[in-house]
């Protein structure tokens, strides 16, 4: 099985007919061909490619896969996609092998010879029987979906997800909803439809600190209108802070998806651009909300201090003769008794 894989691997990577031997060798021109072979990127890609070939012959397929991916990212060429697919096949990751073979035929187009195309399509039919398709409908929109701890994307997904035969864990998360997970088992050729509605988080009420109690004498009137600006500014500060936290989490998630899209091979340029734009937009929104929250907090502080000064300069007894806000002790004689009143 391995010898056959190596032989097909050599034929496609070299784009030439190679005679079958016990240990086939890669030709020097098997590295990705580009117009400027002396450029730094091409030299780096060739170094990764040659190292991948050595590792593949040593049957260190995980390491070979890493090197082939790095060669493709550095200097993309459709032939390397076949090598990547072959490594996935050796690792029995049939879903990724099938995706890489599809990309190889799509990007190669007419440059893939008829014999190779026929062999790849036959291999793809075999792999289709070793994989399953998951059609995932997660609500609300924007729900992050992970399969076996690998980020797939966020809802709504444009296409079905290809997975290997066996058991899988699907995790769903959203910043404003309760996270959930599903465990499934699929057989070859299955098409499963998975629908889930995440429950919203329990609404949390932000309670403002109660105003300090004060001793009110006869004739005093308490005005609630004086606290209205402070309450409004505090509520606005809390709302802006919560909104900034939500957009910040969404921006971080979008940034992680962008990094995953960059690291994924083959690289999906459309997905990468979409996640990059989303991360930038959410980052700007977060900055604006944080700035607004700081301004609102400043107003809250101003109103709080203004309220304290107003309360300190207002006498609780309009008939009192002592200076407003001052303290002291008053002695009153009423018949046979002595009354002592202390003011602070």
- Domain map (residue ranges) of the chain: 2-128, 131-197, 227-312
Sign (positive/negative) of CA torsion 266, 269, 273, 274? negative
What is the per-residue pLDDT for 290?
86
What's the CATH number for 2-128?
1.25.40.10
131-197: CATH architecture = Sandwich (2.60)
Q: How far apart are CA 1 and CA 120, in angstroms?
A: 16
Q: Output the pTM of the full model.
A: 0.54
Using pLDDT thresholds of 50, 70 and 90, give the confidence band for residue 344.
Answer: very low
Query: How many contiguous H segments (helices) and E segments (strands) does the chain have?
Result: 8, 9
What is the per-residue pLDDT for 69?
96
Q: Which residues contact 48 (CB under 8 A, 6 or more apart)?
A: 67, 68, 70, 71, 74
Q: In what order do the strands lie in the sheet with 177-186?
A: 150-154, 144-147, 166-174, 177-186
pLDDT, tens digit, for every residue of 3-50?
334 333 443 343 332 222 223 333 333 444 444 444 888 899 999 999
Q: How far apart are CA 179 and CA 172, in angstroms?
A: 6
Contact 1, 59 (CB under 8 A): no
Using pLDDT thresholds of 50, 70 and 90, give the confidence band for residue 291.
Answer: confident
As given in the structure block, the two tokens for residue 96 are 């990724």
pLDDT, tens digit, for every residue of 127-175?
999 999 999 999 999 999 999 999 999 999 999 999 999 999 999 999 9
């Amino acid at each position: 099985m391995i010898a056959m894989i190596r032989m097909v691997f050599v034929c496609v990577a070299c784009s030439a007919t190679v005679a079958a031997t016990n240990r086939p060798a890669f030709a020097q021109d098997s590295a990705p061909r580009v117009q400027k072979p002396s450029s730094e990127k091409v030299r780096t890609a060739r170094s990764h490619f040659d190292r991948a070939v050595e590792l593949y012959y040593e049957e260190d397929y995980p390491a070979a896969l890493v090197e082939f991916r790095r060669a493709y990212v550095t200097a993309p060429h459709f032939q390397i996609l076949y090598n990547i697919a072959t490594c996935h096949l050796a690792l029995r990751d049939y879903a990724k092998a099938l995706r890489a073979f599809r990309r190889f035929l799509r990007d190669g187009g007419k440059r893939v010879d008829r014999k190779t195309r026929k062999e790849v399509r036959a291999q793809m039919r075999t792999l289709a029987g070793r994989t399953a398709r998951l059609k995932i409908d997660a609500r609300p929109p924007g729900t992050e979906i992970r399969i076996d701890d690998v980020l797939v994307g966020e809802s709504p997904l444009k296409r079905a997800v290809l997975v290997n035969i066996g058991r899988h864990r699907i995790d769903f998360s959203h910043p404003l909803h309760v996270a959930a997970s599903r465990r499934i088992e699929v057989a070859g050729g299955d098409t499963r439809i998975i629908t889930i509605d995440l429950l919203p988080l329990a609404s949390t009420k932000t309670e403002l600190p109660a105003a300090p109690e004060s001793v009110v004498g006869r004739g005093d009137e308490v005005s609630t209108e004086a606290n209205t600006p402070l309450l409004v500014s505090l509520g606005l500060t809390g709302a802006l802070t919560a909104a900034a936290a939500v957009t910040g989490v969404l921006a971080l998630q979008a940034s992680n998806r962008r990094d995953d899209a960059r690291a994924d091979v083959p690289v999906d340029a459309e997905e990468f651009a979409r996640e990059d734009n989303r991360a930038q937009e959410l980052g700007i929104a977060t900055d604006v909300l944080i700035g607004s929250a700081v301004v609102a907090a400043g107003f809250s502080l101003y109103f709080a201090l203004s309220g304290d000064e107003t309360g300190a300069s207002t006498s609780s007894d309009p008939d009192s003769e002592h200076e407003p806000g001052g303290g002291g002790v008053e002695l009153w004689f009423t018949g046979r008794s002595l009354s002592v009143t202390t003011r602070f």
